[in-house]
A and B are shown apart, each in its own frame.
Chain A
């Protein structure tokens, strides 16, 4: 009886400490972002002389002006379209590839695994010039295709390896069972592995989306037409070395990152659902 109470108290204390720790970490993660949000409501001068803290007076027209100047409506569409296409293609090729190098036995498996690891170490500036040169020749520069192709290629190695690690955790027996039932490789992938791995695919979709959304060097280089520009390129308009309006930069940041966060929140709900419903046992 007595000991039960003690354990209860101990449990309470430890869970209290746990929560305090978690909340401190949450503040650590969230406060800087909150500051970005706050600064979007301050005047330029205030942002420059005192970037941290609450606004003396709240300014609300930053958003409207920034939205108009930035031309964000079409940029949103372009970014979403590009991200969507890249996500779909990456999921398909990476899904198949990762399944192959994590689940199937073949001679070149080690080579391909090593290839994608090494591929990560190639910095973008090594291939940006030749890619630009070729796409310029092919007339792809200043089209949506250029970025879709390039982003897809850039997103492959890391996500391939990540998915491979995920997939390797799924017991092989399940797929073997499916195969005994008369499924071919593609079928067992689609019927058995994919449903279990759904949350992982979602994770990868989010990662790809974030990267495509935030990337600006390539999009700034490859796209020149106003109507094709992406959100990040718009954002770059607001970040400068000097002589720039800081309040607008913060406002633009909020406009730029808000959809990513909203989308993430939306997906993470699905993500959790996927987690609980599609567990290994299921």
Chain B
């Protein structure tokens, strides 16, 4: 074997272990289950082939439409709030010296806690009889003290999103912080020599320096907004009256509560499909906008 050919093989040798492990344990089995989307199947046995009936049902199912709308609302929240908050805090924290570790640790800790524990605590906080509302009532904000954070269909989704943000933004912050610290310090020096102020530094050095991380966080947020599950499942489980139903909780319900695993699998196809489309859409847009992350 000559060296040229060898060189050619190296990238494959590097990527294959990860690819093979993942394909064997996740993708392969997942594809074998996806076939079941063509069956009337309760998740345990005796599947009946029904062709594309599950899919045609999806397009008629009003709950699917509702879930997708909720996912989009979720996306709009998560693509703004935690990103902006995380970015601002990362910028501030990156300028700190002694207290940096303290803050980054505190902010990151909510991410470390499992959703099961955090969800329980926050549900208690949002309880109308002994949560925040009692504090509001004492403060004299009667209107605010009557709000049913998780019980009012109009508010519930935002209340859960708020909690998920609590757990999420610190992670984003740490990602940004890590990227900021990777930016070549000589660039800042050069900017300062050119007489740039803090804000100009931010625009011309910091942001371009971490644009790959920003692009990555953006695409991850977009995809995860359609996959999110934990906090909604634990805090409201889609309720009240489907006001917080999202794709993944609806899939879960079909698979494990309604015994409609076939239909749930069809929904999974749609969900993954949305993610794939979004991925390529994002890629196309960032290429157009010169934000290519390669």
A–B touch (CB < 8 A): the answer is yes
Please list the residues of chain A having a beta carbon within 8 angstroms of any beta carbon in chain B: 18, 21-22, 25-26, 28-30, 32-33, 35-36, 49-52, 92-94, 96-97, 99-101, 104-106, 108-109, 112, 114-123, 125-127, 129-131, 134, 149-150, 152-154, 156-158, 160-162, 165-166, 168-171, 185-186, 199-200, 203, 210, 213-214, 216, 232, 235, 239, 249, 253, 256-257, 260-261, 264-265, 268-269, 272, 275, 279-281
Q: Are A106 and B12 touching (Cβ within 8 A)?
A: yes
Q: A29-B170, A249-B120, A256-B114 are in contact. Are A100 and B212 (CB under 8 A)?
A: no
Q: What are the interface flags for B28-57 relative to A under an 8 Å C-beta threshold, 1 for contact and 0 otherwise?
A: 011011100000000100000000000000
The answer to whether B106 touches A26, judged by C-beta atoms less than 8 angstroms apart, is yes
Docked complex: B227-276 residues within 8 A CB-CB of A = 227, 229, 248, 251-252, 255-256, 264-265, 268, 271-272, 275-276
Complex Cα distance, B26 from A130, in Å, reads 10
Question: Is the Cβ of A117 less than 8 Å from the Cβ of B18?
Answer: no
Cα-based distance from A35 to B229 in the complex (angstroms)? 24
| Interchain nearest-CB distance for B243 vs A (Å) | 21
Q: Is the CB of A32 within 8 A of B118?
A: yes
Contact of A93 among B21, B120, B280 (CB under 8 A): B21
Closest residue of chain B to A268 (Cβ to Cβ) is B105
Interface residues of B in 196-230 (CB under 8 A from A): 209-210, 212-213, 215-216, 219-220, 223-224, 226-227, 229
B84 contacts the other chain (CB 8 A) = no
Residue of B nearest to A210 (CB): B112
Write the nearest CB–CB distance from A85 to chain B, whole angstroms. 13
A121 CB contacts on chain B under 8 angstroms? 223, 226-227, 271-272, 275-276
Q: A78 to B114, alpha carbons, bound, how many Å?
A: 18
Output the least CB separation between B45 and chain A (Å).
11
A242 to chain B, nearest CB (A): 13
Known: A157-B22, A257-B112, A275-B181. A36 touches B117 (CB 8 A): yes
Contact yes or no, B114 A232, CB < 8 A? yes
For the complex, what is the distance from the CA of A51 to the CA of B120, rounded to whole Å?
10
Asked if B124 is at the interface of the complex by the 8 Å CB criterion, the answer is yes
Residues of chain B lying within 8 A (CB to CB) of residue A268: 101, 104-105, 108
List B residues at the A interface (Cβ < 8 Å): 7-8, 10-15, 17-19, 21-22, 24-27, 29-30, 32-34, 43, 89, 92-93, 100-101, 103-118, 120-122, 124-125, 127, 130-131, 166, 170, 174-175, 178-179, 181-182, 184-186, 209-210, 212-213, 215-216, 219-220, 223-224, 226-227, 229, 248, 251-252, 255-256, 264-265, 268, 271-272, 275-276, 279-280, 293-294
- Chain A residues with Cβ below 8 Å from B110 are 29, 32-33
Q: How far is the CA of A129 from the CA of B35 in the complex (A)?
A: 13
State whether A22 and B103 are in contact (beta carbons under 8 Å apart), knowing that A52-B125, A153-B26 are contacts in the complex.
Answer: yes
- Contact residue among A26, A117, A127, A261 (Cβ-Cβ distance under 8 Å from B25): A127
Q: Give 8 A-B contacts (CB < 8 Å), ordered by A residue.
A: A101-B11, A117-B279, A120-B275, A121-B271, A121-B275, A126-B268, A127-B25, A168-B294
A275, B114: Cα distance in complex, Å: 27
- CB < 8 Å neighbour of B103 from A26, A169, A249: A26
Evaluate whether A25 and B279 lie within 8 angstroms (CB atoms) in the complex, with A126-B29, A165-B213 already known. no
Q: Which 4 pairs, one residue from A and one from B, show the smallest C-beta to C-beta distance?
A: A153-B25, A130-B29, A100-B14, A121-B275
Nearest chain B residue, comparing its CB with the CB of A49: B130
A213 to B114, CA, bound (A): 9
**Given A106-B12, A203-B178: A169 and B104 interface contact (C-beta under 8 Å):** no
Chain B residues with CB under 8 Å of A265's CB are: 105
- A209 to chain B minimum Cβ distance, whole angstroms, is 9
A165 touching B212, Cβ below 8 Å: yes
Do B108 and A264 touch (CB < 8 A)?
Answer: yes
Bound Cα distance from A261 to B209, whole angstroms: 31
Assuming the contacts A33-B110, A117-B279, A156-B21, asked whether A108 and B12 have C-beta atoms less than 8 A apart, the reply is yes
A169 to B219, CA, bound (A): 17
Chain B residues with CB under 8 Å of A261's CB are: 109, 112
Q: Which of A22, A33, A157 is within 8 Å of B113, CB to CB?
A: A33
If A109-B11, A153-B21 touch, does A130 touch B179 (CB 8 Å cutoff)? Answer: no
Residue of B nearest to A272 (CB): B101
Q: Which residue of B lies closest to A265 (CB)?
A: B105
Q: Determine the residue in chain A with the shortest Cβ distance to B9.
A: A106
Query: Nearest Cβ distance between residue A177 and chain B, in whole angstroms?
Result: 16
When chains A and B are docked, how far (Å) is the Cα of A51 from the Cα of B123?
Answer: 10
When distances are taken between beta carbons in the complex, the residues of chain A under 8 Å from B227 are 120-121, 123
Known A29-B106, A126-B29, A129-B33; contact A152-B121, beta-carbon cutoff 8 A: no
Question: A28, A100, A281: which contacts B166 (Cβ < 8 A)?
Answer: A28
Q: A51, B124: Cβ atoms under 8 Å? A: yes
Residues of B within 8 A of A279 (CB): 181, 185
Q: Looking at B32, B124, B127, B184, which has the most chain A CB atoms within 10 Å of its CB?
A: B124
